[in-house]
Amino acid sequence: MDIANAIAHQLGIEVRLVIKAWDTLIPELQKGSFDIAMNGIEDTEDRKKIVLFSDPYYIYSQKITVRKETKGISLLADLKGKKVATLSGTAAEDILRQTAGIHVVTNPEIIYSYKDLEDGKVDAVLLDTPIAAAYGATNPKLKNVGESFGEGQYVIALRKEDKALMDAVNQALTVLKNNGDLKAIYTKWGIMDPHQKKIGLK
């Protein structure tokens, strides 16, 4: 929301928040439920065929979360033979399904994956670093482990016909990158890291 509000400020407009299930964001965007979809959307080739993407605004990577008492899990390879929860339709799901021996449990909303982990229904959660920072690191029963991996980009999705709006959003993002506002937002939320050099943040 901080980023959305900062972009809106640059555009001289106000944000009207519309909340939808994550895995319905692109279909809802296409049918006109809102004008911009922005919620950890990854720039996959399949999505690129049906919507416009802004310039990347964050470089994410994947992070493993386990229960506090869990030992012996810190790498993707350690998840083999384990039940691992993630959000449906994400890069994390793709990575898990491409790794033999992992039992993948998908959920339509983030909170359910971490609740399943907390309740002992799964052995780990794999999701993007900002999500793990918000849900894994802040839960006293859970912990984030190992180095992050599987780098990718977050983008804003817009309808194919809204190129002028996409251009305006990209101009706003450029200003926020150059004036330090984007870095300040990431620092505030504890997700500023060296990966962000790839989008021009230092």
Q: What is the pTM of this model?
A: 0.80
DSSP β-bridge partners for residue 124: 84
Please give the CATH number for the structural domain made up of 59-151: 3.40.190.10
Q: How many residues comprise the chain?
A: 202
Q: 149-163 in b/e burial notation, b at 16+ Cβ within 10 A?
A: ebebbbbbbbbeebe
Residue type at 172? A
The domains spanning 2-57+155-199 and 59-151 adopt the same CATH topology: yes
> What is the tens place of the pLDDT at every residue in 33-87?
999 999 889 888 888 999 999 999 999 999 999 999 999 999 999 999 999 999 9
CATH code reported for the domain at 2-57+155-199: 3.40.190.10
pLDDT score at 44:
83
Predicted confidence (pLDDT) per residue in 78-125, tens digit: 999 999 999 988 889 999 999 999 999 999 889 999 999 999 999 999
Closest by Cα among 103, 70, 98 to 84: 103
> Where are the chain's structural domains?
2-57+155-199, 59-151
